[in-house]
Amino acid sequence: IFINYFIYLFIMDLKNSLQIYELASEVIDKCRSKKLKISVAESCTGGLISSIITSIPGSSDIFECGFITYSNDSKRKFLNVSQNTLNLYGAVSEEVVIEMINGLKYNTKSEILLAISGIAGPGGGSKEKPEGLVWISYVFKNNNIKTGKHKFGPIGRELVREKSSIVSLKYLLSML
C-alpha cells in the first residue's frame, strides 16, 4: 500500500511539475511579447510562484519582484495590510489578498499583480477556514481586482502549494 501511495505521489508531482513549467513558460512568453512586468505577493506558497517563474530562462525580462509575506507582521510592514483587516477577517481572506494587491500596486511598477494567502496544512485550519483553503487576487494594470477562493482540502502541504501555483499561473495567463 505504501509503495503504491509513493508511486502515486511521484507521478502526481511529475505531472504538476510539467504543467507548472509549461504554464510559467507561456506566461513569460506572453509578457515578453507585450513588454509587461509581473510582481507577486505570496504567503502560503512561500515564494514557490516566484521561484517557478524565475526558474525559466528569460524570466528577468518580465519578473520585477516577489514579496514573501508569510507572517501578519510582514503583510503589514511590506504590503500595508491593515491590522484591522487582519483582525476582522484573518490572514486567509479575500479582504487580505486584495490589500496585498494594493500593497503591490504601491510598491512596484508592474502591470500584472498577483497575491495569495492560504492554509497549506497539515493543521492550522478551522471549521470556517479548513486546511487547503486558498485565496488568490490578481489584477492587470488598473483594472478591477479579481479574486478566487479555492478549497483544495487536506491533500498535503506540497500539493496545496503546487495546485495553488498552477491556479495562480492560470490566472496570470487569463489576463494576458
pLDDT in tens, 54-89: 999 999 999 999 999 999 999 999 999 999 999 999
Q: Which three cell numbers stand for residue 61?
A: 525580462
Res 10: pLDDT: 57
Res 12: pLDDT: 58
- Is the backbone peptide bond immediately before 57 cis, with ω within 30 degrees of 0? no
Residue numbers in the chain where pLDDT is lower than 70: 1-14
Please say whether the beta carbons of 120 and 44 come within 8 A: yes
Separation between Cα atoms, residue 19 and residue 41, nearest integer Å = 21
Rounded to 5 degrees, φ, ψ at 47 are 95, 5
Please say whether the beta carbons of 42 and 50 come within 8 A: yes
Please say whether the beta carbons of 44 and 114 come within 8 A: no
Separation between Cα atoms, residue 105 and residue 114, nearest integer Å = 10
Res 142: pLDDT: 86
Please say whether the beta carbons of 135 and 18 come within 8 A: no
Indicate the pTM of the whole model.
0.91
pLDDT in tens, 63-72: 999 999 999 9
